[in-house]
Structure 1
Amino acid sequence: MKNIAITALASASLLAGATAARAQQSAASANAQQSSTDTSAVAEIVVTAQRRQERVATVPISITVANQAQLERQQVNTVNDLSRISPSLEISGAPGQNTGGGGAIRGIGTQTFSAGAVASVGIVVDQVSQGNANIGDLFDVSRIEVLKGPQGTLFGLTTSAGVINITTNAPDPTRFSARVHSELSDAGTAGSKYGDQIVQGVVNMPLSEDAAIRVSGLLNRRQGVDRNATTGDLNDNNRYGFRARLLWRPSSDLTVNLIGDYTHQYFNNGGDFFTFVKTGGPGPFLGGAGVDPVGLTARLASCGVTPGVGNRDYCTSQTFADRSKNYGASVQVDYDAGPFDLTSITAYRRNVDQGFGAATNVFRADPFELQVQNLAVDRRLRLFTQELRLTSPSNQTFEYTIGAFYSNQRERRAPEGLTVRLQPVPGFIIPIQTSLGANDTITDQSLAIFGQGTLHVTPKLRLIAGGRFTGEDLTLDRYNLDIGTTNNYQHEGLSTERISYRFGAQYDLMRNTMAYATASRGYKGGQIATPSLPLAPYVVRPEVPMDYEVGVKSTLFGGWVLDINAYYTKVQGYQAQQCTVVATTGVINCLTSNIDGVKTRGGEVNLFGRVFQGLSVNTGFIYTKATYPTSFIGTDGTNIGGSQLAYAPKYKFTFSGEYEHPITDRFKGFIAADAVWKSRVRYEANQIRDTTYLPHWVMGGRLGARTADDRFALAVFARNLFNVHEPLLMQSSLPYNGADNVGAIYGPSSFRQVGLSVDAKF
């Protein structure tokens, strides 16, 4: 309970400061603020999926929208949590992913450890593409839109599967306001399997009649989920961050938004990494060159670890520590030039990851004869983007958006050495493999021009056409230290020029119902794959999907949005990573390759928004048949052509709802529930049953009360109430012997959490 006490004191300090500052604030102001942040409280949900503000029911794209109220009742605090808000969205969140979470939409996504890779699902925050310098934490967020299917026309080269479009709350020059939100849990209390103390604070301060600043902050202290059986300690994962946003309107025609953010993360004892869920007995290893007379099961038992589904224990006397920093700034200038609006967005982001993280000791099991260890990580990434847009006014015969976009992303990786050794008895070490690593510099530069227009042919019929031309240069400069100091320079490069486009039509069937049909070609840039040494880097072609979609949208009961769609997508050059364990060393080797002919097709239905006063429900169901091409050979040498892609459930259902009802004139009670159901998920491109996870439900909810003016709330919450152990990643042959030994990576979503949440608004 010590961590809860510390964090509760921090919450109390923020509350006290906010209370002192609110002296002249009225209940009416608080209510007005609530309406501005809770889109379920209004009849129309507004989105920016087409780079202009539009009602979601009129946009010819399948979109799932989650507002601030839904994000908080589902405890969506990180990007990895977003898979619970949309049936079409999956985020693996495995450590070390280079693409900011490995998101997938409709089964199509990118999970890779290569330095030169970009995502299939782009993350955009306040209209700024995050590239590979993605944010990890979500706080003071107004709305999240999940845009499905290729979005290359308006959003660029990292959106071949879709976009996660995040909008934070804007400063308000009309009033002062403040808010504190906290979620407190403790390992072992009320059945919680790990501890997590989260405090988020927000202060909005008017500076003048036309300017305001909004400052928000986050403190997150997590204990677990992994546990070191040698010491009995849960792993610590601590983060803090802030965002400052300045809004200035010097004239009625000009608006300036200046945003800066910073997040720092520190974890020790290994973080969330591999634990063993299945192990075998005595047997050969190192490709038959060695024999383990004891077996992994007995070796783990000797240090207090029992393999099995949901095992989060490891055992090592080594210590680990890792620090990462993510920060950036952007300036957006909007000018109303009369016949069009001119927008300029300049942004810079940087990510630094340093230390001895979990992957330093891959197995984290001291009794093992075979030990695979990596040296320290030092990765530094920076991203500069510049966008210019011209946007016509809405509600005219021809609406258009045209623009240009430039990005320059560079990542530097210091040598990440590797040692493999055999320790048959304590103190006696036999070296198997040693690698010093390489200095890598990866540069990805692109320039694009784009445009999209909508022609109102009749009051009911609209035609859509748009295109984007992208030129991209990708290079890798490597100094391989294993070769020596001379002739150790390696260079790989890829230059591409591609066109992506969208064509379609939409028709108003009745006053609140619209149908649409679109054909879209997307584009995701190529990669320069960087497998483990001594394998050399190599070029992976761009990923080009062709998507066809039809859908219907309708507004029900004055605010509940119905979104039904069917789709068919075929991907040329699908970039897939396949990880195997090298039999002679135990090293995990991940190779990325192009797969032509990957398909995804299916249908989806979503309902989101307010059903009626007091009841908000967001729910959806998807059927996705995402398959490998005919005769595709998996990592186990079997033909898995036509079977479901890794990380892609064929069926998925999501639900989130809250109902509130007055208790007295001063208080309202509320109950909230959320649930996710998935069909079986495979984690490797093979037929090994032990690296799949069975169909399952993950359920949670909240029960509490709030004041009639919505200024104060107290609730008890539960996440993953039935403690279902869905993994983030699974790997066979860990460290050898095929399906006899299987490892899994679990995260916070894999275990039950029970706690208390407190909210206050001023």
Structure 2
Amino acid sequence: MSIHSKSVARDPFTLATKQKFLNLSLLSLSILSVWGQAHAETVSSTARSSEDVAQLETVVVTATRREESLQKVPVAVSVISGKELDKQQRNSLETLVTQVPSVNFRAGASNKDTSLFVRGIGTVTTSPGVEPSVSTVIDGVVYSRPGQATLDLLDVERIEVLRGPQGTLFGKNASAGVVNIVTKNPTSETSGYIDAYATNDGEQRIKLGASGTLIPEKLTANVSALLGNFDGNVDNLTTNQDVNGYKNYGFRTKFEYTPTDSLVLGFTADYLHKKGSAPTGIVVKNTDANYAAALSPVVASPTNRSTVENTQASTDDTNQGVALTADWTLTNHQLSSITAFRQWKNTQIGDSDQLAAPTPNFAGIADLGHVNSKQFSQEIRIKPLDHGFFDYVAGLYFSKNKNDETYQRESTWYNNASNAYVLDFGKAIYNTDSTNYAAFGEGTFHFTNRLRWIAGLRVTRDELSYDHSRVSTVPSSIGVRNAIRSSFSSDGSTSETGVSGRIGPQYDFTPNILGYFTYSRGYKGPAYNVYFNMQQNDTPVIDPETANSYELGLKSQWLNNRLRVNVALFNTDYDNYQANFRTLDPNGFPITRLVNAGSVSTYGAEIDSVYKINPNWALNFSGAYTHARIDDFKCPAADTSCPNVNGKPLPFSPDWKFNTQLDRYFTLANNKQIELSTQYAWQSKVQFSLDQNQNTIQGAYGLLNASIALADTASDWRLALNVRNITDKSYATLLSTNGSRITRQVSRDDERYFGISFRKNF
């Protein structure tokens, strides 16, 4: 039987296994709850007898579209405060991978090629006709393209990572999770800050901000700005320049106007520009002697940080937008509106051959791409003000995204017949239009003071269309030459209606122990594989991706609220999984196909904990076991080179990850204190390719960071020395195949470096 027709049994979570999982989970939950009830009084009294009790602060989140305590929300949520991000100089969503073990990140030479993964599920494609599986939401506005959200963070209050399908309240492109970013609101008191950072390897950053009242009791505003520069940590031996760096600048501002006691109006504007110099790829492995000679003096190795690209790879990103908000308090309800417009422009220059010049054996390939993405969204929500028997949030949502792209490729190759170099050229213009309508609601029934029932539903209507046209100098009789296909044009449209939702019980075993068990339905809309080298077999519509997820969670606080431990067990099955698959076309040309890859599943366990040992010691620990596997892969039609990948891991999903942080404070005279902090993040090996190429596996590794700071709590300033990657560990954030060679993306933290930061609040 061929692998195309072979049906492989789904190893993880058969019905029997699911029942065992549920029984074990309920037993564990019961034991923990009984233990908690039996010992709550003893633990509490013991903690109160301590001479110096230090309690954890209450963490407020908006995971259910209303402000609630983290410990009362029946969702697996990881929260990182903006203050902690500033202390560690974490300035982008990419840094979440070391903070939240359930999160992984797909790096790329351009922001256009980046995306987030949660619990092993994400989107690996640059097609504008595909939605991300992990939704990024900033101040209530859903970002339509993953590249929009991977630029710098500015003026962040907190980041909430909601794990698992969240389509009920956060929309259709949240089949794997949501990264909910909340920025700081204006303050009525006049305040400001300056935050400066510089490293020994040439990175400099400065952030400034101010907030206060413009019209007493009516209008408040804030504004923050950033400026950053980093030459890079990769050597380009052809141009004799450092690359893999950036230059960026931007601002964010908020206005809050209160014309009456019952109405609050808001206006937000932001702008960020980034110029990046990441190489198209750094060669780490090569099996072709001719290519090795052409690559000289660069020697391929796992720790290589040199390139000879003659076309200076770069990206130029502009991300900007405005939003209008309104919160109108009625007699017993609050009506909220968010109107937003965003634009993202991206220009990408690439050097796909990684050589200083074309040779008789290897063509020189240079790329230039432009993206202009515009989105408009409108959301209206209503919720009751009083907590009665039935609490709810309901609303309507509309969004429209238009994406215009132009991509061109030049190939300079040696013609043996004429003994001369020949230039091939291809240029594609393609556009996508997507419109989304949705009605949603989620409510909580309070049957008793302890027992609640959660129920939510979202109905989504998707309309998607595209058009594509490529002109090329490659004759149609040849089809493809040196990564350029012959001329082609097509268009298409589709529409689908999808349903997502959540349901399940929530129970308070004690005032400090909450348990919940939920079933969630995830939905990700239809897609088209629209890209430069699009061909006829890319024109069929990609069916919507759906998910069925079960989650058992326990949220608890112990030792008089000095210890917080949150645990989640999950099992999710995905059907019509949308994924890129690398294969060969009938001519032997390597291509990447976007397909409905079939069925995949992910299950595992997660823990988030923090322990305030005493006022001078604090310990954070978080970990995740994620078993993300391909269950039944559907090979693309007429693909004779498709390997059997059933039972293999999903890309960008290590089985194990954990992060721990230990903080120590020493109180000095005159309101001074010394702060010591150590962070260690570790992950097991990870496969970067769905086709299971053995050369695209990053082995297990850990990163150790530390800092020492002097702070003045009265004058509100802090001076710190940060050390990143103390053990000088080199690793890859992406490994890709390109002919006979393997290339990697080099992380900012690929080697040890030092940084000094200073922050002053006014």
- TM tier relative to shorter chain: 0.7 to 0.9
Please say which of residues 604-613 and 703-712 is displaced more in the overlay.
604-613
CA distance in 2, matches of 1:155, 1:41: 32
The yes-or-no answer on 1:454 pairing with 2:444 is yes
Q: Cα distance, 1:57 vs. partner?
A: 0.3
Of 547-556 and 600-609, more deviation after overlay is shown by 600-609
Q: Structure 2 CA distance, aligned partners of 1:352 and 1:509?
A: 51
Report the counterpart of residue 396 of structure 1 in structure 2: 388
Q: 1:709 aligns to what?
A: 714
Report if the CA contact (8 A) 1:532-1:589 is conserved.
Answer: no
TM-score by length of 1: 0.86
Partner residue in 1 for 2:227: 219
Find the aligned partners of 2:123 and 2:292 in 1 and give their Cα distance: 33
**Residue correspondences, number:** 688
Amino acid aligned to 1:262: Y
Q: Residue 400 of structure 2 corresponds to which residue in structure 1?
A: 408
Taking a change above 3 Å as real, the CA distance of residues 448 and 608 of structure 1, as seen in their structure-2 partners, is farther
1:241 pairs with 230, 242, 250, which one?
A: 250
How far has the Cα of 1:488 moved from its partner? 6.5
1:73 offset after TM fit, Å? 3.1
Q: Give the corresponding residue for 1:138.
A: 153
Residue 354 (structure 2) aligned to one of 363, 371, 378: 363
Tell me if the contact between 1:182 and 1:758 (Cα under 8 Å) persists in the aligned partners.
yes
State the SS of the aligned residue for 1:597: strand
Q: Which residue of 2 aligns with 1:65?
A: 79
C-alpha separation between the residues in 2 aligned to 1:608 and 1:583?
A: 55
Q: Quote the residue 2:281 is aligned against.
A: 274
C-alpha displacement at 1:642, in angstroms?
0.9
Which residue in the other structure is 1:12 paired with? none
Asked if the contact 1:273–1:746 (Cα under 8 Å) also holds between the matched residues in 2, the reply is no
**1:163 lines up with 2:155 in the alignment:** no
TM-score, with length taken from structure 2: 0.86
Shift of 1:254: 1.2
Deviation at 1:583, TM superposition (A): 10
- Residue 750 of structure 1, CA deviation: 2.7
CA contact (8 A) 1:97 1:112 kept: no
Closer, same or farther in 2 for the Cα pair 1:570/1:394, shift >3 Å?
farther
Answer whether contact 1:632 1:639 (CA < 8 A) is retained.
no
- Alpha-carbon contact 1:597-1:629 (below 8 Å) kept: yes
Kindly indicate whether residue 574 of structure 2 is the aligned counterpart of residue 566 of structure 1.
no
Within 5 Å, which residues of 2 pair with 1:161-560? 161-173=176-188, 175-187=189-201, 195-210=202-217, 211-235=219-243, 236-267=245-276, 270-282=277-289, 295-301=290-296, 304-354=297-347, 357=349, 359-366=350-357, 369-419=361-411, 421-422=413-414, 428-430=420-422, 434-482=424-472, 490-533=490-533, 535-536=535-536, 537-538=538-539, 539-556=541-558, 557-558=560-561, 560=563
Bigger mean CA deviation after superposition, 664-673 or 164-173: 664-673
- Across the aligned residues of Structure 1 and Structure 2, the Cα RMSD in angstroms comes to 2.7
Report how far residue 630 of structure 1 moved. Answer: 4.2
Structure 1 pair 311–401 and aligned structure 2 pair: CA distance change class (3 A): same
Question: In 1, are the aligned partners of 2:682 and 2:701 still within 8 Å (CA)?
Answer: yes
CA displacement 1:369-389 (0-9 Å, x = unmatched) = 313424422210001000000
CA contact (8 A) 1:64 1:608 kept: no
The residue identity in structure 2 corresponding to 1:507 is: Y
On the 8 A contact 1:98/1:114 being kept in 2, the answer is no
* CA distance, structure 2, for counterparts of residue 454 and residue 753 of structure 1: 50
Q: Please report how far the alpha carbon of residue 184 of structure 1 lies from its aligned counterpart in structure 2 after TM superposition.
A: 0.6
Determine which of 82, 102, 106 is the counterpart of 2:115: 102
Indicate if the aligned counterparts of 1:561 and 1:608 stay in contact, CA closer than 8 A.
Answer: yes
1:120 aligns with 2:133: yes
Q: Report the CA distance shift for 1:575/1:674 in structure 2 as closer, same or farther (over 3 A).
A: same
Q: What's the counterpart of residue 29 of structure 2?
A: none
Paired position in structure 2 for 1:56: 70
Check 1:272–1:757 CA distance in 2 against 1; reply closer, same or farther (3 A cut). farther
| Structure 1: unaligned runs, 5 residues or longer | 1-39, 188-194, 283-294
**Correspondence for 1:759:** 759
Cα distance in structure 2, aligned partners of 1:644 and 1:471:
32
On the 8 A contact 2:107/2:745 being kept in 1, the answer is no
Instruction: Kindly indicate whether the alpha-carbon contact (under 8 Å) linking 2:582 and 2:691 is maintained by their aligned counterparts in 1.
Output: no
Q: Which amino acid aligns with 2:242?
A: L
* 2:99 equivalent in structure 1: 85
1:170 is displaced (CA, Å) by: 0.6
Moved more, 238-247 or 391-400: 391-400
1:499 Cα deviation from its structure 2 partner: 0.9
Task: Using the aligned pairs only, state the percent identity.
Answer: 26
Deviation at 1:321, TM superposition (A): 4.7
2:139 paired with 1:149: no
CA contact (8 A) 1:315 1:365 kept: yes
Question: Quick one: which of 687, 691, 699 aligns to 1:694?
Answer: 699
Structure 2: distance between partners of 1:335 and 1:42: 33
Q: Which residue of structure 1 aligns with residue 748 of structure 2?
A: 748
* Alpha carbons 2:687, 2:697 under 8 Å: kept: yes
Distance 2:642 2:583 in 1: 12
Contact 2:110/2:315, CA 8 A, preserved across alignment: no
Q: 2:648 aligns to what SS in structure 1?
A: coil
Aligned CA distance change for structure 1 residues 617 and 146 (closer, same or farther; 3 Å):
farther
Q: How far 1:559 moved relative to its partner?
A: 5.3
With over 3 angstroms needed to count, the CA separation of the structure-2 counterparts of 1:163 and 1:321, relative to structure 1, is closer
Q: Is the 8 A contact 1:370 1:423 kept in 2?
A: no
Distance in structure 2 (CA, Å) of the matches to 1:616 and 1:250: 44
User: Structure 1 residues 224-233 or 608-617, which shifts more?
Assistant: 608-617
Give, in whole Å, the separation in 2 of the partners of 1:273 and 1:612: 49
SS at 1:115 equivalent = coil
Contact 2:408 2:532 in 1 (8 A): no
Query: 1:531–1:589: 8 Å Cα contact kept in structure 2?
Result: no
1:418 deviation in Å? 4.2
Output the CA distance in 2 between the equivalents of 1:42 and 1:363.
52
Query: Residue 17 of structure 1 aligns with which residue?
Result: none
2:357 maps to amino acid: D
Partner Cα distance (1:580, 1:273) in 2: 21
- Whether 1:596 and 2:598 are equivalent positions in the alignment is yes
Alignment of 1:649-668 (within 5 A): 649-668=654-673
- 8 Å Cα contact 2:616-2:664 kept in structure 1: yes
- In structure 2, relative to structure 1, the CA distance for the partners of 1:382 and 1:614 (3 Å cut) is farther
After superposition, the C-alpha distances for 1:345-371 in whole angstroms (9 at most, x for unaligned) are 00010011135x2x2444244365313
Q: CA deviation at 1:655?
A: 1.9
Post-superposition CA distance 1:173-220 (Å, at most 9, x none): 1x1111111221132xxxxxxx32111111112112322111001111
Query: Is the contact made by 2:166 and 2:176 (CA closer than 8 Å) also made in structure 1?
Result: yes
CA–CA distance in 2 between the matches of 1:372 and 1:317? 9
Distance 2:220 2:264 in 1: 12
Q: Distance in 2 between matches of 1:380 and 1:135?
A: 16
For the Cα contact (< 8 Å) 1:181–1:759, is it kept in 2? yes
**In 2 relative to 1, CA 614–426 (structure 1 residues): closer, same or farther, beyond 3 Å?**
farther
Q: 1:374 to 1:443 in 2, by over 3 A?
A: farther
Is the CA contact (8 Å cut-off) linking 2:248 and 2:272 kept in structure 1?
A: yes
